[in-house]
Structure 1
Amino acid sequence: MPKRLPPLKPLRAFEAAARHLSFTQAAAELNVTQAAISHQIKQLEDALGAALFRRMNRALKLTEEGEAFLPAVSQALETVASAAERIRTPQKAGPLTVSVLPSFASTWLVPRLSRFRQREPEIDIRLSADYELADFDLDDIDVAIRWGKGDYPGLAAERFMTEELFPVCSPRLVLEGPHPLKTPADLKHHTLLHDDVLTDWRVWLLAAGVNDVDPDKGPSFNYSDLVLQAAIDGQGVALGRSSLAHDALARGQLVRPFGIALPGDYAYYFVCPSYAVQRPRIKAFRDWLFEEADRDRRQDEEIPRLGARDDEAPDA
């Protein structure tokens, strides 16, 4: 059987009055009248069957019962206040579990996480890399980075990065060998590398006006980071995605031999439950993510392009 609690509102009046040893100051702190404090103390004393204060001329003292009761009441009220404050203002420190596609994690997110740790050292990122979409109702996931068209019913979704598709290859293929890549037509002398998860070479070759290259021939990879690695190793020319190829282009491991680029069908979205958008850990990660995407966009303008100019037309 649960223990009987004394009336809760009078407990606050008792704690304030005992701390100040003054009904007047307690009333001012709690924004009530002195009569209200006196009434609540009387109510509490009746419920306990014991006097808590000795009322003296121009003075107020605790009885023995009051002195014994005060520490427990103070601690209990502080515990409740602290718990309520944690609910009202969730703490920033702690783990944050992020669901992300494996290729995006390995080529883009993980290389940047050291900057997030420097900025938010109290937040521990836990990556959950999977091609399956996270279910926020069932999985232990706080936020997700999704690649799609932004249709995520019941969730808050913000696009933070769009993509372009363009050929990428090792600098050696552009500058060396018997058939350097000078125009898109030169692709007929090179191996095409295929990324199974996006629109492949056929559409790009059509946009470039190249009709004598087999768009289906060449090795294929079911992970986007693998096709980029094959291109870095000089195994052929890949149709790269700007987001995933960015770092390798910036390091000079890959180059863009041609200026022709196609807009991607999908973009990257920051996704979380609507009720969690303003939680400190989630907001901190979201803000950092958007700043990193902006950094990439600025750097993209400085990455040199080798090979053909944008206005060069392929041989008819």
Structure 2
Amino acid sequence: MRSLPPLNALQTFEVTARHLSFQQAAEELDVTPTAISHQIKILEDYLGVSLFRRRPRPLTLTEAGNLLYPAVRDSLDRIAAAIAQLQQTPESTTLTVSVTTVFAAKWLVPRLSHFQRTHPDIDLRLQTSNDVVDLGKQTVDLAIRYGRGNYPGLAVCKLMSDVFMPVCSPRLLKGKHSIQKPADLVHHPLLHFEWIHFDTDAPDWKNWFKAAGLETIVPDDGLTFNEESLAIQAAIAGQGVALCSSIHVADDVALGFLVQPLDVSLTGFNYSAVYLENHPKKALILKFVDWLVEMVADELSPTKAKTG
């Protein structure tokens, strides 16, 4: 039988030696510095040697600590690698995807039944959030991000780009003030939603009127929502005109719930699937990414455009 000290004490030693700080080790392990000190003392008592020089500061390793640290570090790395390998076996069928709320509601969710039919072996879980998740923590396997496509340290698969155009209920075109040119919008309420993570080049009403040559119009009035999906629903209800992503309103336009009365548009950003290149679930990730690419290609095909 191997004679080994408590594994908790070894892990605590590795983290403390890596940071050379009880405080930083405590923060990483989510315990108190006192708990760190206690575990180090257990290990030192077991070994009968001092592992750290505590005075004078900063904290340093003793000769014994320098001997033990690489052995413990490498052993824990091998354990972590073995666990990661086990997690990519066929038994690991859960795939967690982070996606923006509006993309999930208006594009992804309506199409997921096709993925479930073609990949019944994958247990797909969606997490909707407009905040950027840290894929390094591996609580999420894959993220569908909206932006300019620059994601350092991640594998990136561009899915699609969009444009922003005014949309409204067909009822607004039959009223007293028809919408035939950009200036006609002054007779209708404008629906806004907040752009939190983008600069002044966001495709909003202010920039749209600038592109339409109507910079004198200040489009600040009207309802403002924190989600684009809510602005889309308000437009469907006939409450005003919204400036929305062509991707997000495609189904509503095809069904006749919305119309795009004007041709002036703004370039949006890109949707991309991003993930860690060496993720233990890469096989599952690539199945979902390949499905996304297939769905996008199908909807952009000439045949789909003619029959849609």
**Structure 1 pair 186–145 and aligned structure 2 pair: CA distance change class (3 A):** same
Output the amino acid matched with 2:160: M
Contact 1:90 1:279 in 2 (8 A): no
Decide which of 278, 282, 298 is 1:279's aligned counterpart.
282
How far apart are residue 189 of structure 1 and its match?
0.8
Greater alpha carbon shift after TM alignment, 130-139 vs 230-239 = 130-139
C-alpha distance in structure 2 between counterparts of 1:187 and 1:271, whole Å: 38
C-alpha distance in structure 2 between counterparts of 1:230 and 1:97, whole Å: 31
How far apart are residue 239 of structure 1 and its match?
0.4
Contact 1:170 1:255 in 2 (8 A): yes
**Structure 1 pair 277–172 and aligned structure 2 pair: CA distance change class (3 A):** farther
1:88-237 to 2 correspondences below 5 Å: 90-91=89-90, 94-174=93-173, 176-197=174-195, 198-211=202-215, 213-237=217-241
Output the amino acid matched with 2:260: R
Decide which of 266, 274, 281 is 1:262's aligned counterpart.
266
Kindly tell me the number of residue pairs found equivalent between the two proteins.
222
Contact 1:157 1:271 in 2 (8 A): yes
C-alpha distance in structure 2 between counterparts of 1:119 and 1:303, whole Å: 23
How far apart are residue 96 of structure 1 and its match?
0.5
C-alpha distance in structure 2 between counterparts of 1:274 and 1:194, whole Å: 37
Contact 1:187 1:213 in 2 (8 A): no
Unpaired runs of 5+ in structure 1?
A: 3-82, 305-316
How far apart are residue 218 of structure 1 and its match?
1.2
C-alpha distance in structure 2 between counterparts of 1:126 and 1:89, whole Å: 17
Structure 2 counterpart of 1:37:
none
Greater alpha carbon shift after TM alignment, 119-128 vs 192-201 = 192-201
Over the residues paired in the alignment, what is the CA RMSD in angstroms? 2.7
Output the amino acid matched with 1:189: H
C-alpha distance in structure 1 between counterparts of 2:104 and 2:88, whole Å: 30
The share of aligned pairs that are identical, in percent, is 42
C-alpha distance in structure 2 between counterparts of 1:171 and 1:140, whole Å: 43
Output the amino acid matched with 1:247: D
Output the amino acid matched with 1:119: T
Structure 2 counterpart of 1:80:
none
TM-score between the two structures when normalised by the length of structure 1: 0.64
How far apart are residue 214 of structure 1 and its match?
3.0
Q: CA offsets per residue over residues 62-94 of structure 1, 9 Å max, x none?
A: xxxxxxxxxxxxxxxxxxxxx9xx869843861
How far apart are residue 107 of structure 1 and its match?
1.1
How far apart are residue 219 of structure 1 and its match?
1.2
How far apart are residue 164 of structure 1 and its match?
0.3
How far apart are residue 153 of structure 1 and its match?
1.5
Output the amino acid matched with 1:147: Y
Output the amino acid matched with 1:102: T
How far apart are residue 240 of structure 1 and its match?
0.9
Contact 1:227 1:238 in 2 (8 A): yes
Output the amino acid matched with 1:104: F
Contact 1:93 1:122 in 2 (8 A): no
Query: What secondary structure sits across from 1:276 in the alignment?
Result: coil
How far apart are residue 273 of structure 1 and its match?
0.1
How far apart are residue 137 of structure 1 and its match?
2.3
**Structure 1 pair 149–106 and aligned structure 2 pair: CA distance change class (3 A):** same
Structure 2 counterpart of 1:249:
253
How far apart are residue 207 of structure 1 and its match?
1.7
How far apart are residue 243 of structure 1 and its match?
1.4
C-alpha distance in structure 1 between counterparts of 2:307 and 2:188, whole Å: 24
How far apart are residue 278 of structure 1 and its match?
8.1
How far apart are residue 261 of structure 1 and its match?
1.6
C-alpha distance in structure 2 between counterparts of 1:279 and 1:297, whole Å: 27
C-alpha distance in structure 2 between counterparts of 1:240 and 1:122, whole Å: 35
Q: CA offsets per residue over residues 162-218 of structure 1, 9 Å max, x none?
A: 0101100111112x1111112222111111111212431122112223356432121
